[in-house]
Structure 1
């Protein structure tokens, strides 16, 4: 009887990661960078490094970007692992803060962050962030405003988006677009609020 063999994706030989490699012409993340970052994350998680003093924080996980190369780690698997890693570190940091300052202080800080985010969302479209100079590019204002409208609806309906929907959003650029740092800071705050209310 003829049997068809099922080909499984080739994975890293590093037992701590074992991510499949990108196939064909699809680029992947550089294994050395991914492995080095995850080694730091593991060291922080196991208590060998303190967050913010050489150790990893949830915010750093969120902002980390890996360079790409042919036959690197398949991006979707690494991205999914990074999403989970951020949530693990966020929860650890939340618990540590509650132990140190109390749950009331944690929720007071969360409510203050929500108030600041809503204040930004309530600004008129086209004026929610600083606009770049005459010959400078920034995020396309119409795209950012449309996404922020979705975020406003999320807070009103209390039906939370997935953190990855906010983390992975991509905006085109335009002359005199929105200041990227301000937009990114707001999106970071939105992710924090989503994670805080889970």
Structure 2
């Protein structure tokens, strides 16, 4: 996934660290991941012989770092990761347009849109699974539904919604029929971020 001017596209600022006794993200793990991002943007990607899959924008949100005292401040790392995801998504778009043409990219966007619309167009309180156990905690269905409707408005160009709002979405806890299963909602939000980046 070669991309020109990747340093400008993905500037990595000096990441502040937590006080010595406070818990942050492991410095070595974060540095290694950001190095992979730069390599993905600057070069052709790993060879199959290296045994390592290419780094994609969808991998960024799934990345988890170990905790370490005196490590990088989590909120600062999260901001850098948002920039990394944006840069990788833009490079992926350029690669598809270059290698397969605009029609292939449009098909990709339309497939994502259809997938998300299928969920958004369901009735309120029925868009996602409820936790299997009645006492299990999930996300407030009412609050998730509001965000789904905002996404639906964005897809019809009748309302603004930035990927950052999905990345930072926090839902109050709820139980039983008033809640949605967290894992399923999180997976949906991942795809929603992917689509909004593709629509830029």
Given the two structures, how large is their TM-score scaled by the length of structure 1? 0.78
Q: How does 1:49-64 map to 2 (within 5 A)?
A: 49=46, 53-64=52-63
1:28-65 CA distance string (max 9 Å, x none)? 32212211211222333333526994331100112213
Matched, 1:18 2:14: yes
Matched, 1:145 2:145: yes
User: Judging changes above 3 Å, is the alpha-carbon distance between structure 1 residues 50 and 160 closer, same or farther for their aligned structure 2 residues?
Assistant: farther
Pick which of 128-137 and 47-56 moved more: 47-56
SS state of the match for residue 138, structure 2?
A: strand
SS state of the match for residue 180, structure 2?
A: coil
CA distance in 1, matches of 2:60, 2:109: 20
Pick which of 125-134 and 48-57 moved more: 48-57
Q: What residue is the counterpart of 2:104 in the other structure?
A: 105
CA distance in 2, matches of 1:24, 1:111: 48
Q: Which has the greater radius of gyration?
A: 1
CA distance in 1, matches of 2:153, 2:138: 25
1:42 to 28, 32, 38: 38
Q: How does 1:36-185 map to 2 (within 5 A)?
A: 36-47=32-43, 48-49=45-46, 53-135=52-134, 136-176=136-176, 177-185=179-187
Gaps of 5+ in 2: 1-11
User: Judging changes above 3 Å, is the alpha-carbon distance between structure 1 residues 154 and 25 closer, same or farther for their aligned structure 2 residues?
Assistant: farther
CA distance in 2, matches of 1:96, 1:194: 18
Pick which of 101-110 and 134-143 moved more: 134-143
CA displacement at 1:137 relative to structure 2: 3.5
Pick which of 36-45 and 123-132 moved more: 36-45
Give the conservation status (yes or no) of the 8 Å contact 1:17–1:35: no
User: Judging changes above 3 Å, is the alpha-carbon distance between structure 1 residues 81 and 146 closer, same or farther for their aligned structure 2 residues?
Assistant: same
Q: What residue is the counterpart of 1:33 in the other structure?
A: 29
CA displacement at 1:169 relative to structure 2: 1.1
Pick which of 55-64 and 45-54 moved more: 45-54
SS state of the match for residue 63, structure 1?
A: coil
- Indicate the structure whose relative CO is greater, using CA pairs within 8 Å and at least 6 residues apart: 2
User: Judging changes above 3 Å, is the alpha-carbon distance between structure 1 residues 123 and 174 closer, same or farther for their aligned structure 2 residues?
Assistant: same
